């Protein structure tokens, strides 16, 4: 009985055993299939990560080779190291793919050979990149071509590996499908177990798809995060179709980039055959094309300066990188202009300084000769003409010094609107009746720290220039307003900072200026007027005065449409100060002791005579060292005043005054100089016992300045 029952239940036990074995085999098959899928996904991820690292390194190398200062060579090498480590790590664990397709070998020779070839090409590309990144000499065309060929070969090898992986993936899938079909035919009695296995297989496929989608999303995020605007175009039927773009590209263009996806290059660039030619050359020649172009994304907006790179990506893609260099080019042009103006200013200031020494001697000797002759002497009129010519020359050098920003400023808080209102009558007197004058001033607080006399000179020059540009019949408008210059405005200009300003604008309806004239408008001695109609120093003087006031000046003009000159002066929060008045009197005399130091012999002689005629006891020296030795022979308090040239060889006037004050702290000091750059840079506001007198000066100017100190 027991044997019969055992025989009776044997088929059931066998069936159960077979069912259990079937389920076990299905589960074993599922587990290995899932593991194989993970290996395949990891292989694709590894290849994608390596290609992305190489591409980043390539882009950094290309931009560094094009003198982009923002790129760091070490990042290029870091990306190459990352790519190499990724391939080597993958290569050491790839053998499980062989078991997945039913082979009992320990490795795939084909894949191993392809990966080895990829590492060799990676080393070759690294060598080419190293030559470009570490070179201290300008890069040659041959070096650039070698680097690009190495990159192209690396990409082609990656394409072959990718195709091989997808082929293996396809074969693997077919093999597994056959196994499932056989299992379904022979084990139909185990539908429940088979359903579970199928369900698990579907879930595994979904997981693999999700992993692939996540990998693609990571790549897309990295693509969008590239800081350079990047567009991907696909070559189709002799045309190019835009497939994608990154976030930087969307920020560059003022229009919606989403509407551009799917558009054709032949339509979008139908007015730019040069761009279409670059696309075709990039595809046909398999070369990277780089050049700088101007492109207008939207008609009303100004054109942008773009540095464009066309990179062919096999089999049919062109990646276009468009770096916006508009702001950089604008700042470079402004820097060049500022350096030019600074160089001209230094030259003009040096000439004016030397010329002022000569004028001081001419004017001084002429004054002494004029005063020594009887009233009816004929020579007095000749000497008077010499004095008048000297005054005109002094005004000319004053304009040069204004341009060079080396004048002494008598600055205070002034209300610019009040100053313009007070000068309106003067402006109307210099204008013909056919020219209208309109003055519009800001109603609110418009106080600036400025020298009213210098600002008056600026306004008068601008009004006279406007008058000459108008000719007969027109209008001049002077207006002020309070504004705030933000970072967006000041970032595009190298000579102004963000903050509150008072804007002074002088506009006319005259003939305007061409772009070529605007570029040279502030150059000294440049003029479009005829002979004997202008010195060419008016706008140059305005430029220097505004810069010395820490301001900004700009010209907006078109030929035939008038001109507007805008001046921005830093606005002050303090109230305006009342102007000080000085009583006018005859040249005062004195009897004090004065130590006078001047390295120019002619100036020293004539000023010595001026001081002597004014009644002072004068001790004369030709250098700082000589003056210091003479001063040591006097007790503190015996020398009442030190008059010294500011700029002298050896010991300067400032150094001399500091040395003398160590032994005589109460001595008064009067600096004289052809320009006051040094004293202004250290003493923007002179104290009561220190004064400055600019050359050339008259005996009366010298007398009043001395009495103001003593």
> In 69-90, which positions are buried (b, 16+ CB within 10 angstroms) versus exposed (e)?
eebebeebbebbebbbebbeeb
Query: According to the model, what pLDDT value does residue 97 have?
Result: 42
- Give Cα 27 to chain centroid, integer Å: 66
Domain ranges (residues) in the chain? 18-224, 230-324, 333-403, 412-572, 593-709
3-class secondary structure for 136-152?
CCCCCHHHHHHHHHHHH
Query: According to the model, what pLDDT value does residue 396 have?
Result: 63
Let me know: does 639 contact 580? Beta carbons within 8 Å: no
**Three-class secondary structure of residue 483 per DSSP:** strand
Let me know: does 336 contact 253? Beta carbons within 8 Å: no
Query: According to the model, what pLDDT value does residue 151 have?
Result: 85
Query: According to the model, what pLDDT value does residue 173 have?
Result: 74
Distances (CA, A) of 526 to 280, 335, 530, 534: 48, 20, 11, 9
Let me know: does 608 contact 636? Beta carbons within 8 Å: no
Could you state, in chain order, the average pLDDT of each consecutive group of 10 residues for the chain (710 residues)? 44 53 68 69 78 85 78 82 84 52 54 86 85 75 83 87 83 75 66 60 79 76 77 89 85 72 88 89 88 78 83 89 78 61 61 70 78 77 75 65 55 85 82 87 80 82 86 87 82 76 90 81 70 63 82 85 90 66 60 90 85 90 91 89 88 90 90 60 51 80 86
Query: According to the model, what pLDDT value does residue 587 have?
Result: 66
Query: According to the model, what pLDDT value does residue 597 have?
Result: 93
Q: Which residues contact 275 (CB under 8 A, 6 or more apart)?
A: 265, 269, 293, 295
Residues listed for the chain:
710
Looking at the domain 230-324, which fold is it? Beta-Lactamase (3.30.450)
Architecture of domain 593-709: 3-Layer(aba) Sandwich (3.40)
Looking at the domain 333-403, which fold is it? Helix Hairpins (1.10.287)
Q: Where are the alpha helices (DSSP H) in 632-696?
A: 653-663, 677-682
Backbone angles phi, psi at 318, to 5 degrees: -130, 115
Q: Which residues contact 258 (CB under 8 A, 6 or more apart)?
A: none
Stretch (H or E) spanning 595: strand 593-597
Rounded CA separation 413/638 (Å): 39
Q: What is the CA radius of gyration of the chain?
A: 43
Rounded CA separation 343/346 (Å): 5
User: What own/partner pairs with CB < 8 Å and gap ≥ 24 does 31-36 have?
Assistant: 32/99, 32/100, 33/100, 33/176, 33/201, 33/204, 34/204, 34/207, 35/96, 35/100, 36/96, 36/97, 36/99, 36/100, 36/172
Distances (CA, A) of 154 to 48, 123, 150, 216: 13, 10, 6, 21
Let me know: does 643 contact 670? Beta carbons within 8 Å: yes
How many CB atoms are located within 10 Å of the residue 5 CB? 9
CATH among 3.40.50.300, 3.20.20.20, 3.40.309.10, 3.30.565.10 for 412-572? 3.30.565.10
Provide the 8-state DSSP code for 408. Answer: P
- In angstroms, how far is the first alpha carbon of the chain from the final one? 146
Query: According to the model, what pLDDT value does residue 140 have?
Result: 78
Rounded CA separation 707/694 (Å): 16
Query: According to the model, what pLDDT value does residue 332 have?
Result: 63
Query: According to the model, what pLDDT value does residue 670 have?
Result: 92
């Amino acid at each position: 009985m027991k044997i019969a029952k055992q025989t009776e239940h044997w088929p059931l036990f066998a069936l159960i055993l077979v069912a259990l074995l079937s389920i076990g085999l299905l589960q074993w098959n599922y587990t290995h299939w899932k593991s194989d899928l993970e290996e395949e996904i990891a292989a694709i991820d590894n290849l994608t990560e390596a290609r992305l690292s190489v591409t980043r390194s390539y882009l950094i190398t290309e931009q560094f080779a094009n003198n982009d200062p923002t790129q760091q060579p070490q990042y290029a090498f870091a990306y190459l190291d990352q790519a190499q480590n990724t391939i080597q790590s993958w290569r050491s664990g790839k053998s499980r793919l062989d078991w997945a397709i039913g082979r009992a070998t320990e490795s795939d020779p084909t894949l191993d050979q392809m990966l080895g070839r990829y590492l060799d090409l990676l080393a070759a590309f690294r060598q080419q990149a190293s030559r470009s990144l570490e070179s201290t000499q300008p890069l040659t065309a041959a070096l650039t071509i070698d680097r690009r060929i190495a990159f192209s070969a690396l990409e082609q090898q990656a394409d072959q590996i990718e195709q091989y992986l997808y082929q293996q993936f396809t074969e693997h899938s077919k093999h597994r499908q056959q196994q499932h079909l056989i299992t379904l035919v022979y084990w139909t009695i185990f539908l429940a177990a088979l359903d579970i296995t199928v369900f698990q297989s579907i879930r595994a496929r979904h997981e693999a798809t999700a992993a692939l989608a996540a990998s693609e999303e990571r790549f897309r995020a990295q693509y969008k995060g590239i800081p350079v605007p990047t567009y991907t175009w696909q070559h189709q039927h002799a045309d190019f179709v835009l497939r994608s773009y990154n976030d930087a590209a969307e920020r560059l263009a003022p229009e919606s980039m989403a509407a551009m996806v799917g558009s054709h290059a032949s339509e979008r660039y139908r007015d730019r055959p040069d761009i279409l030619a670059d696309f075709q050359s990039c595809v046909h020649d398999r070369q990277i094309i780089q050049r700088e172009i101007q492109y207008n994304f939207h008609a009303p907006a100004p054109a942008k300066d773009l540095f464009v790179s066309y990179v062919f990506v096999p089999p049919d893609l062109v990646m276009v990188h468009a770096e916006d260099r508009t702001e950089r080019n604008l700042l470079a042009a402004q820097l060049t202009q500022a350096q030019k103006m600074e160089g001209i200013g230094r030259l003009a200031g040096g000439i004016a300084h030397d010329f002022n020494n000569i004028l001081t001697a001419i004017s001084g000797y002429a004054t002494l000769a004029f005063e020594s002759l009887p009233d009816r002497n004929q020579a007095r009129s000749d000497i008077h003409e010499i004095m008048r010519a000297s005054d005109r020359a002094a005004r000319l050098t004053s304009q040069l010094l204004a341009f060079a920003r080396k004048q002494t400023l008598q600055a205070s808080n002034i209300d610019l609107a009040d100053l313009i209102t007070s000068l309106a009558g003067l402006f109307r007197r210099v204008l013909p009746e056919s020219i209208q004058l309109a003055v519009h001033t800001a109603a609110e607080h418009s106080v600036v720290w400025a020298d009213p006399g210098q600002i008056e000179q600026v306004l008068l020059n601008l009004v006279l220039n406007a008058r000459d540009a108008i000719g007969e019949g027109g209008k001049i408008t002077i207006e002020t307003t309070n504004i705030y210059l933000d970072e967006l405005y000041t970032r595009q200009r190298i000579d102004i900072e963000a903050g509150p300003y008072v804007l002074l604008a002088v506009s006319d309806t005259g003939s305007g200026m061409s772009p070529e004239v605007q570029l040279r408008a502030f150059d000294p001695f440049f003029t479009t007027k005829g002979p004997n109609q202008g010195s060419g120093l008016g706008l140059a003087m305005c430029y220097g005065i505004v810069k010395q006031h820490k301001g900004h000046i700009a010209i907006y003009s078109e030929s035939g449409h008038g001109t507007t000159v805008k001046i921005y002066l830093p606005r002050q929060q303090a109230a305006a100060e009342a102007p000080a008045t000085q009583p006018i009197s005859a040249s005062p005399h004195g009897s004090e002791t004065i130590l006078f130091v001047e390295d120019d012999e002619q100036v020293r002689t004539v000023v010595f005579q001026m001081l002597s005629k004014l009644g002072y006891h004068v001790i004369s020296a030709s250098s700082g060292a000589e003056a210091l030795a003479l001063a040591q022979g006097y007790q503190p308090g015996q020398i009442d005043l030190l008059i010294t040239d500011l700029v002298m060889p050896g010991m300067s006037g400032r150094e001399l005054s500091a040395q003398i004050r160590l032994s005589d702290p109460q001595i008064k000091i009067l600096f004289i100089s052809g320009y006051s750059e040094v004293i202004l840079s250290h003493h923007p506001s002179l104290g009561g016992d220190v004064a400055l007198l600019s050359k050339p000066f008259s005996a009366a100017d010298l007398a009043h300045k001395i009495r103001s100190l003593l």
